[in-house]
Amino acid sequence: MPLTRRRTNYLLIAGAVISAAGLAKMAVAQHPLTAAEATKFIQQAGDKMAALLNQPGDWSAKRRQVEALINETVDVNGVTQFALGRFWRTASEEQRSECVRLFASVLLGSVGRAVGAYRGVTFTIGRSLQVDDKVQVWTTLLRPGDQPREVIWIIGSINGVPKVVDIVAEGTSMRITERDDTTSFLARNKYSIPALIETLRQRAEATS
């Protein structure tokens, strides 16, 4: 499954900003999640991840911490299920678990490749908007030598805990991009879930 430039941007932005370190201290979110809760979640999460990326040490020393933060903060299971679409229903439980694990690892690997470039990263939070049971939070990502980037975070309550369920950057949804890439790959490979898993595994290993 090719890693497009737009898709790479989503993964790098997600890894550079998201964190779950503050979740344990937050009260369990009620349904629906409020704009104030979602904004607080993004503020705490972004501060923690920026601090982690900006601290001394090479990527290998930070990798395990970042992996834990991504898995706790992003609704990786939901993104993976959406990406596989109808093929999620035909996949075995073992295949589903492996796809979820590998999607998170690919995301982590993309952060690793660019971690040096994100030293000095900062962000600001703009407006938020309640849409049904989810909240959209506008942020501006800033890093040295780069133009500001507007990123919209879609926050939902998953089992009572705030999670990033989608990211909109450059006008396009991460979830839709993931789904389109996965569907295209499966169509070219006789709709083989094992082939998808093997490709994800190779990408995860190559970017670790």
Query: Residue 27 pLDDT more than 80?
Result: no
User: Domain count of the chain?
Assistant: 1
Residues 6+ apart with CB under 8 A from 151: 13, 17, 138, 139, 140, 141, 167, 168, 169
Is the CB of residue 204 less than 8 Å from the CB of residue 109?
yes
97/28: higher pLDDT: 97
Helix residue ranges per DSSP H, 55-188: 59-73, 76-84, 87-90, 93-114, 174-188
Q: Which of 126-130, 131-135, 144-148 has the lowest mean pLDDT?
A: 144-148
pLDDT at res. 47: 85
Range of the domain at 132: 5-206
Query: Residue 71 pLDDT more than 90?
Result: no
Tokens of 124: 């600001």
pLDDT at res. 162: 94
| Residue 117 binned pLDDT confidence (cut-offs 50, 70, 90) | low
| Residue 69 binned pLDDT confidence (cut-offs 50, 70, 90) | confident
Is the CB of residue 121 less than 8 Å from the CB of residue 16?
yes
Query: Residue 175 pLDDT more than 80?
Result: yes
Domain of 106, CATH number, reads 3.10.450.710
Q: Which of 21-35, 80-94, 132-146 has the lowest mean pLDDT?
A: 21-35
Q: Which of 127-131, 133-137, 144-148 has the lowest mean pLDDT?
A: 144-148
Mean pLDDT score of the chain: 81
pLDDT at res. 29: 40
pLDDT at res. 22: 45
pLDDT at res. 208: 62
Give the global pTM.
0.79
**For the ranges 78-82, 113-117, 141-145, the one whose mean pLDDT is highest:** 78-82
